[in-house]
Amino acid sequence: MNKPYLFTLNNDERIELFEAAETETGLPAYVIEKDYYVTLVLKVLFEELKPQCCEQTSRPFMFKGGTTLSKVFGCINRMSEDIDLSLDMSFLGHPEPPGGESVTKTKKRIEKLTEAAHSTICETIEPFLADHLKQWDPDFVLTVTGNAGTDIEIQYPR
């Protein structure tokens, strides 16, 4: 993926760009800036990472939350605070379970899926995002967070 135009600008020029967008749209510059970075992360995930993961499944991850989907389809006019994605079980190395599984087996399967999700995020998704984002600006900070270690917090350059 080519270096996005924003990263060819110095910090003052970036601020000026977002302030011009604020004047044009009436939205606060910080909201536009955050939305830009959310969109950039989606682009990296779906245009760069997803094609590399399609050997295991055609849809390694999909939208989970409704805000981003609603925004895409024009149902709402607000910015997303985060990106909620679900990881496909086959992408995690676990096929769909057969029906009629006991509660105990279901609990064990969920534990294994959570561990697999954590590993995939730490070993595949976070490093991939970090490599792409940091080649454009080394000030990106990515941290795996959450109770199960299945969230990635991204602090973008300011």
Q: Measuring CA to CA, how many Å separate 89 from each of 56, 57, 92, 140? A: 10, 9, 5, 29
Burial of 125 per CB tally in 10 Å (0-12, 13-18, 19+): buried
Both tokens of 10, joined, read 């110095």
Q: Measuring CA to CA, how many Å separate 59 from each of 68, 99, 130? A: 17, 22, 21
pLDDT tens string for the chain (158 positions)? 789 999 999 999 999 999 999 999 999 999 899 989 988 998 899 888 888 887 777 888 887 766 666 665 666 666 666 788 888 888 888 887 777 888 898 899 889 999 999 999 999 999 999 999 999 999 999 999 988 888 999 999 87
